[in-house]
């Protein structure tokens, strides 16, 4: 006899006519899922499937990965290079030679007139590592500007800065397998089930095998918070206070790992003196979590045999983002939870290759986690690139968030945007719009021609996307994985690597420099730069020298460091307690919390919180055109507490106008108890929406904007007019 589903509703998968499967790594988030793209008899990408024996995702994909085959031909892809004299003119289709010659000539003219740093370059976390490395060589070795940065300033800069301040170098020390070993997990400012669904699945698998406390810190009752054992609805922007208080209890109650601190940490005295002032009662009055709950969580964390913390944008996008990260590191250092199975400080990265640019992109330094401030590092890279080390500045230039004000003030005249869309993703859209209008020359290099940033461009380079190219991505757990060329580039678009190497040819001195034009040759060059010793005399961690594309493919991704061909990649860093500071010790940091956000008042009584939903990716150049993603949230919307709404006479699905000190935006109301009374949450995916309102105060260390905190008021609005405006703003 047949029972249940088999009898009632047998599931049949439609036959998509797949003739061939080709390997890739997902091009959306940093989870790093391995997949295969299915091609039909005509070579069209028709579907994707997860790779069953891949260590990261073990066959799973989320909604974005499942629908990723349709992005190749999505509307709005750029097919030809375009040029125009003024941004208000119509575009002219031109040849690649014309587009590249013209761009090089404009950069040279502007640099001759206003100095080398008057040309700025802002890149991304979404191209291949080999492309990042080549762009860095072009930016620093050929064009010679120090104002070169990436959208990672909006994303991971606080994690990078916090890791460097605590451990001496960037690089997440843990891995997903730590879920299988931990006895306590603290997740801060991360909505893992929606933003990293497959990492969340890994966590759930671990929890199903073995129970351990899951504690989620988020002012919203996110999906993650609903699944947690303990939810700490922290007051926005006060995580540092909570973390200092947790450390206070752990030290005061003798739960610290004294041996680990003595052997591996500097700075204990100052740190202890500072956290002594953050007793649970004092802290509770600032961060809104009761003293008892703070003690309970501290004891759970301090007593666990192995405890780990993960975090994402709720920490990084804050005026104390870098301090928040270092405070998480403090917590793990004093409990001896670094580099051991289940004990770690694991920042959950954002974009598919945000790690690749940090490692090899040269935006904040030089390749392979080298720094501009270090003369030996400058010499090493100058030798590899066959240039004079004097070409490198001895300090890093402006961060992305400082580049825009420098355009405003006239210091920067030209801007090259590579795979980033600041017109939608930067705070204070109106200010960005006025800033972009001031540019003498702007190039936008994007896979999609309808990206909003192109509105102010004088040249547009159509880039090939994701698996139209070959190369590697590094994921959250330092795993390097391969993207193979699944199908040919669309129309006249070209891989970013090709664009960089061809542009380099427009400068005479680049002729003497190595500019390999295949990804695998670039990878070999990177490998040679990845060996050697660090500032503490220990072997460099970011070592890829044992890897090859064939090995990566066979293993479905390998973690660095991998120093020899017969070694396996290393799952954790700092397991020996040796950190990349000169004396090998990590740094405990004493950090005071300052109340420095824009916060609600009488005129603007709500916190405006912003972030993401599972079905969309960033500024929707891709997911906005994938029917099975866009249909879940085609319209800009806002989570609002029903009690607050009824107080203002606002109903579910009604349009309202949000107003901040910067601007206004129309959103549709979604009533939900996920947000408290005094907060609204708006996904940032929609153009001319939340970032028209955001302030984006900067973290002093990382220069990352506090996207998660500013103040707004809510006004009733004419529904028909709002619906029309809403449609007009979001034409696709
Ligand atoms: N579906 C999807 N997945 C994505 C992306 C996407 O666009 N779509 N983008 C990728 C990228 S680049 C990134 S960076 C990640 C982001 O991943 P996440 O950081 O997990 O996502 P966000 O929604 O930006 O923010 C996470 C949470 O921070 C909370 N938060 C706000 N203020 C505070 C605070 O003061 N303290 C604390 N503790 N929490 C606070 C918010 O309420 C929110 O729930 O997602 C990646 N994955
Ligand atoms: N209010 C608010 N604002 C935020 C955030 C928030 O939480 N709240 N989060 C911030 C964060 S964490 C991030 S990471 C940023 C993201 O902000 P952006 O980077 O500006 O947003 P994306 O839409 O990802 O832009 C990437 C662009 O690259 C293009 N692209 C994709 N693949 C390729 C390729 O292979 N080659 C080329 N040349 N182009 C390609 C895409 O079409 C897209 O236009 O937004 C930030 N802004
Ligand atoms: S979890 Fe991230 S990497 Fe995996 S399929 Fe989804 S978007 Fe892609
Ligand atoms: Mo991000």
Last residue of a domain, one of 323, 348, 373: 348
Q: Which residue has the higher pLDDT, 14 or 655?
A: 655
Torsion of CA 431, 437, 439, 440, to 10 degrees: -160
Determine the atom of ligand 3 nearest the C-alpha atom of 62: 6
Q: What is the mean pLDDT of the chain?
A: 96
Separation CA 549–CA 200 (nearest Å): 28
Q: What is the pLDDT of residues 391-428, one digit of tens each?
A: 999 999 999 999 999 999 999 999 999 999 999 999 99
Q: What is the pLDDT of residues 514-534, one digit of tens each?
A: 999 999 999 999 999 999 999
> Which CATH number does the domain housing residue 679 bear?
2.40.40.20
Is residue 211 located within the same domain as residue 262?
Answer: yes
Ligand 1 mutation pick, 315, 612, 621, 690, max ligand atoms within 8 A of CB: 612
Separation CA 646–CA 644 (nearest Å): 6
**pLDDT higher than threshold 60 for residue 163:** yes
Cα 461–Cα 429–Cα 702 angle in degrees, nearest 5: 85
Ligand 3 mutation pick, 61, 68, 70, 628, max ligand atoms within 8 A of CB: 61
Residue 679 lies in a domain: yes
54 C-alpha vs ligand 3 centroid, how far in Å?
A: 13
Separation CA 194–CA 175 (nearest Å): 19
H helices of 304-428, in order, are: 313-316, 321-334, 354-360, 375-385, 400-408, 422-425
Is residue 257 located within the same domain as residue 391?
Answer: no
Last residue of a domain, one of 348, 368, 400: 348
Residue 580 lies in a domain: no
Residue 481, beta-bridge partner list: 473
- Would you state the pLDDT for residue 279? 98
Is residue 406 located within the same domain as residue 548?
Answer: yes
Separation CA 701–CA 153 (nearest Å): 11
Look up residue 94 and give its two tokens. Answer: 């031109």
Separation CA 541–CA 525 (nearest Å): 17
Is residue 253 located within the same domain as residue 182?
Answer: yes
**pLDDT higher than threshold 60 for residue 387:** yes
Q: What percent of the chain has pLDDT over 90?
A: 95
Instruction: Centre a 10 Å sphere on the Cβ of residue 710 and count the other Cβ atoms it contains.
Output: 28
Phi-psi label, residue 554: left if phi above 0, alpha if psi -120 to 50, beta otherwise: alpha
- Would you state the pLDDT for residue 731? 47
Q: What is the pLDDT of residues 103-142, one digit of tens each?
A: 999 999 999 999 999 999 999 999 999 999 999 999 999 9
Find the domain containing 710 and state its range: 606-731
474 C-alpha vs ligand 3 centroid, how far in Å?
A: 13
pLDDT band at 628 (very low <50, low <70, confident <90, very high): very high
Give residue ranges with CB within 6 A of ligand 2: 124, 126-127, 151, 154-155, 313, 317, 350-351, 418-422, 425, 445-448, 451, 463, 465-466, 496, 610-611, 618-619, 621, 684, 690-691, 694, 707
Residue 92, beta-bridge partner list: 83
Last residue of a domain, one of 290, 324, 348: 348
For the chain, what's the residue count?
732
CA-proximal residue: ligand 1, atom 12 (nearest): 350
Look up residue 454 and give its two tokens. Answer: 């192109």
Q: Could you tell me whether strands 119-123 and 414-418 are parallel, antiparallel, or unpaired per DSSP bridges?
A: parallel
Mean pLDDT of 537-558: 96
- Would you state the pLDDT for residue 567? 85
Residues sharing a CB contact under 8 Å with residue 196, sequence separation 6 or more, in sequence order? 29, 30, 31, 190, 312, 348, 476
Determine the atom of ligand 3 nearest the C-alpha atom of 196: 1
Handedness of CA 534, 536, 537, 539 (dihedral sign): negative
447 C-alpha vs ligand 3 centroid, how far in Å?
A: 19
Nearest Cα residue to 523 out of 116, 131, 75: 131
- Would you state the pLDDT for residue 14? 83
Residues sharing a CB contact under 8 Å with residue 305, sequence separation 6 or more, in sequence order? 183, 342
152 C-alpha vs ligand 4 centroid, how far in Å?
A: 7
Ligand 1 mutation pick, 195, 220, 320, 617, max ligand atoms within 8 A of CB: 195
Look up residue 172 and give its two tokens. Answer: 């997440």
Is residue 480 located within the same domain as residue 431?
Answer: yes
Separation CA 688–CA 88 (nearest Å): 19
- Would you state the pLDDT for residue 2? 52
Look up residue 436 and give its two tokens. Answer: 């972009």
Residues sharing a CB contact under 8 Å with residue 69, sequence separation 6 or more, in sequence order? 37, 38, 45, 46, 47, 48
617 C-alpha vs ligand 4 centroid, how far in Å?
A: 10
- Would you state the pLDDT for residue 4? 57
Q: What is the pLDDT of residues 296-350, one digit of tens each?
A: 999 999 999 999 999 999 999 999 999 999 999 999 999 999 999 999 999 999 9
Is residue 250 located within the same domain as residue 149?
Answer: no
Q: Which residue has the tokens 């998509």?
A: 16
Is residue 166 located within the same domain as residue 144?
Answer: no
Residue 631 lies in a domain: yes
683 C-alpha vs ligand 4 centroid, how far in Å?
A: 13
Residue 480 lies in a domain: yes
What backbone phi and psi angles, to 5 degrees, belong to 281? -70, -50
> Which CATH number does the domain housing residue 309 bear?
3.40.228.10
Nearest Cα residue to 169 out of 545, 478, 537, 541: 541
**pLDDT higher than threshold 70 for residue 729:** no
Give residue ranges with CB within 6 A of ligand 1: 29, 155, 188-191, 194-196, 217-220, 222, 234, 236-237, 239, 312-314, 350-351, 609, 611-612, 614, 616-618, 708
Separation CA 372–CA 374 (nearest Å): 5
Determine the atom of ligand 2 nearest the C-alpha atom of 611: 7
Say if residues 661 and 620 touch (Cβ distance below 8 Å).
no
Separation CA 122–CA 149 (nearest Å): 5
Mean pLDDT of 178-189: 98
Is residue 211 located within the same domain as residue 136?
Answer: no
Determine the atom of ligand 3 nearest the C-alpha atom of 352: 3
669 C-alpha vs ligand 4 centroid, how far in Å?
A: 25
Report DSSP state, residue 197: H
Is residue 378 located within the same domain as residue 448?
Answer: yes
Nearest Cα residue to 441 out of 138, 135, 86: 86
Mean pLDDT of 536-549: 95
- Would you state the pLDDT for residue 730? 59
Instruction: Centre a 10 Å sphere on the Cβ of residue 3 and count the other Cβ atoms it contains.
Output: 7
Determine the atom of ligand 3 nearest the C-alpha atom of 198: 1
Residue 596 lies in a domain: no
Q: Could you tell me whether strands 655-659 and 664-671 are parallel, antiparallel, or unpaired per DSSP bridges?
A: antiparallel
Q: What percent of the chain has pLDDT over 70?
A: 98
pLDDT band at 390 (very low <50, low <70, confident <90, very high): very high
Q: What is the pLDDT of residues 672-681, one digit of tens each?
A: 999 999 999 9
Is residue 382 located within the same domain as residue 437?
Answer: yes
Say if residues 128 and 471 touch (Cβ distance below 8 Å).
yes
Ligand closest to CA 321: 1
Mean pLDDT of 622-648: 94
Say if residues 423 and 457 touch (Cβ distance below 8 Å).
no
Determine the atom of ligand 3 nearest the C-alpha atom of 31: 3
Say if residues 497 and 356 touch (Cβ distance below 8 Å).
no
Q: What is the pLDDT of residues 361-384, one digit of tens each?
A: 999 999 999 999 999 999 999 999
Look up residue 264 and give its two tokens. Answer: 């591996």
Instruction: Centre a 10 Å sphere on the Cβ of residue 433 and count the other Cβ atoms it contains.
Output: 16
pLDDT band at 27 (very low <50, low <70, confident <90, very high): very high
Ligand closest to CA 319: 1
1 C-alpha vs ligand 2 centroid, how far in Å?
A: 53
Ligand 2 mutation pick, 126, 315, 403, 495, max ligand atoms within 8 A of CB: 126
Residue 338 lies in a domain: yes
Determine the atom of ligand 3 nearest the C-alpha atom of 28: 7
Is residue 549 located within the same domain as residue 625?
Answer: no
Number of domains comprising the chain = 3
Sheet of 184-188, strands arranged across: 230-232, 214-217, 184-188, 307-311, 344-347
**pLDDT higher than threshold 70 for residue 489:** yes
Say if residues 180 and 342 touch (Cβ distance below 8 Å).
yes
Residue 635, beta-bridge partner list: none
421 C-alpha vs ligand 2 centroid, how far in Å?
A: 6
What backbone phi and psi angles, to 5 degrees, belong to 188? -120, 120
What backbone phi and psi angles, to 5 degrees, belong to 690? -65, -35
Ligand closest to CA 593: 1
Say if residues 666 and 722 touch (Cβ distance below 8 Å).
yes
- How many alpha carbons fall within 13 Å on the CB side of residue 192? 29
353 C-alpha vs ligand 3 centroid, how far in Å?
A: 12
H helices of 115-177, in order, are: 129-136, 157-167
> Which CATH number does the domain housing residue 412 bear?
3.40.50.740
Is residue 369 located within the same domain as residue 300?
Answer: no
CA-proximal residue: ligand 1, atom 10 (nearest): 350
Look up residue 91 and give its two tokens. Answer: 């575009």
For 48-71, b where at least 16 C-beta lie within 10 A, e where not — what string? bbbbeebbbbbebbbbbbbbbbbb
Give residue ranges with CB within 6 A of ligand 3: 26, 28-29, 31-33, 57, 61-62, 64-65, 196-198
Say if residues 230 and 213 touch (Cβ distance below 8 Å).
yes
Ligand closest to CA 424: 2
pLDDT band at 6 (very low <50, low <70, confident <90, very high): low
pLDDT band at 24 (very low <50, low <70, confident <90, very high): very high
- Would you state the pLDDT for residue 654? 96
391 C-alpha vs ligand 3 centroid, how far in Å?
A: 40
Which secondary structure element, helix H or strand E, spans residue 6, and what is its range? helix 4-8
Look up residue 95 and give its two tokens. Answer: 């040849």
Say if residues 78 and 481 touch (Cβ distance below 8 Å).
no
- Would you state the pLDDT for residue 732? 43
Determine the atom of ligand 1 nearest the C-alpha atom of 156: 14
Instruction: Centre a 10 Å sphere on the Cβ of residue 630 and count the other Cβ atoms it contains.
Output: 18
- Would you state the pLDDT for residue 726? 75
Residue 71 lies in a domain: no
Q: What is the pLDDT of residues 655-673, one digit of tens each?
A: 999 999 999 999 999 999 9
Instruction: Centre a 10 Å sphere on the Cβ of residue 408 and count the other Cβ atoms it contains.
Output: 15
Q: Could you tell me whether strands 441-446 and 459-462 are parallel, antiparallel, or unpaired per DSSP bridges?
A: parallel
Residue 399 lies in a domain: yes
pLDDT band at 711 (very low <50, low <70, confident <90, very high): very high
């Amino acid at each position: 006899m047949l029972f249940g589903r088999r009898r009632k509703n047998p599931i049949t998968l439609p036959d998509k006519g797949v003739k061939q499967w080709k390997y890739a790594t997902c091009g959306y988030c940093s989870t790093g899922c391995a997949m295969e793209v299915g091609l039909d008899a005509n070579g069209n990408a028709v579907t994707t499937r997860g790779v069953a024996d891949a260590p990261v995702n073990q066959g799973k994909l989320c909604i974005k990965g499942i629908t990723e085959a349709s992005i190749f031909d999505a509307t709005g892809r750029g097919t030809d290079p375009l040029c125009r004299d003024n941004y208000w003119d119509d575009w002219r289709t031109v040849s690649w030679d014309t587009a590249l010659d013209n761009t090089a000539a404009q950069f040279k003219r502007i640099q001759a007139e206003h100095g080398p740093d008057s040309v700025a370059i802002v890149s991304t976390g979404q191209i291949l590592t080999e492309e990042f490395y080549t762009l860095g060589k072009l930016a620093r070795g050929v064009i010679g500007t120090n104002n070169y940065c990436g959208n990672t300033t909006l994303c991971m800069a606080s994690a990078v800065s916090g890791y460097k301040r605590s451990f001496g170098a960037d690089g997440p020390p843990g891995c997903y397998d730590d879920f299988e070993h931990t006895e306590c997990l603290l997740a801060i400012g991360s909505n893992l089930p929606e933003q990293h669904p497959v990492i969340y699945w890994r966590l759930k698998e671990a929890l199903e095998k073995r129970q351990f406390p899951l504690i989620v810190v988020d002012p919203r009752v996110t999906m993650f918070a609903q699944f947690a054992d303990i939810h700490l609805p922290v007051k926005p922007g006060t995580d540092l206070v909570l973390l200092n208080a947790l450390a206070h209890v752990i030290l005061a109650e003798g739960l610290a790992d004294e041996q680990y601190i003595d052997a591996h940490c500097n700075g204990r005295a100052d740190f202890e003196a500072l956290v002594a002032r953050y007793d649970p009662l004092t802290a509770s009055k600032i961060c809104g979590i009761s003293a008892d709950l703070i003690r309970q969580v501290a004891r759970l964390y301090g007593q666990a045999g192995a405890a780990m913390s993960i975090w994402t944008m709720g920490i990084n996008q804050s005026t104390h983002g870098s301090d928040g990260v270092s405070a998480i590191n403090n917590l793990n250092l004093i409990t001896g939870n670094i580099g051991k199975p289940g004990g770690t400080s694991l920042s959950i990265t954002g974009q598919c290759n945000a790690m690749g640019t940090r490692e090899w992109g040269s935006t904040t330094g030089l390749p392979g986690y080298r720094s501009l401030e270090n003369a030996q590092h400058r010499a090493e890279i100058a030798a590899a690139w066959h240039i004079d080390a004097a070409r490198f500045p001895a300090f890093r230039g402006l961060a992305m968030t400082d580049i825009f004000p420098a355009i405003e003030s006239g210091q920067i005249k030209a801007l090259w945007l590579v795979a980033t869309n600041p017109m939608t993703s930067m705070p204070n859209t109106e200010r960005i719009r006025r800033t972009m209008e001031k540019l003498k020359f702007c190039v936008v290099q994007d896979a999609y021609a309808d990206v909003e940033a192109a509105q102010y461009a004088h040249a547009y380079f159509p880039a090939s996307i994701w698996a139209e190219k070959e190369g590697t991505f590094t994921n959250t757990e330092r795993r390097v994985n391969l993207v193979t060329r699944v199908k040919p580039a669309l129309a006249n678009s070209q891989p970013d690597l090709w664009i960089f190497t061809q542009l380099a040819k427009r400068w005479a001195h680049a002729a003497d420099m190595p500019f390999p034009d295949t990804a695998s040759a670039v990878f070999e060059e990177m490998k040679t730069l990845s060996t050697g010793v660090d500032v503490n005399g220990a072997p460099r961690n970011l070592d890829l020298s044992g890897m090859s594309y064939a090995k990566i493919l066979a293993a479905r991704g390998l973690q660095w460091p991998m120093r020899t061909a017969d070694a396996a990649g290393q799952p954790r860093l700092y397991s020996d307690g040796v950190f990349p500071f000169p004396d090998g010790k990590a740094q405990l940091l004493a950090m005071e919390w300052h109340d420095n956000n824009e916060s609600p008042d009488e005129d603007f009584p709500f916190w405006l919180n912003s972030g993401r939903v599972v079905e969309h990716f960033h500024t929707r150049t891709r997911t906005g055109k994938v029917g099975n993603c866009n249909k879940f949230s085609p319209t800009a919307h806002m989570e609002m507490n029903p009690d607050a709404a009824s107080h203002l006479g606002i109903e579910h699905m009604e349009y309202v106008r949000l107003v901040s000190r910067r601007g206004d935006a129309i959103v549709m109301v979604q009533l939900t108890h996920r947000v408290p009374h005094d907060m609204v949450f708006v996904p940032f995916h929609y153009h001319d929406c939340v970032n028209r309102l955001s302030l984006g105060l900067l973290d002093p260390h990382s220069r990352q904007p506090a996207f998660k905190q500013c103040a707004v008021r809510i006004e009733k609005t004419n529904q028909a007019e709002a619906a029309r405006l809403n449609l007009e703003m979001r034409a696709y």
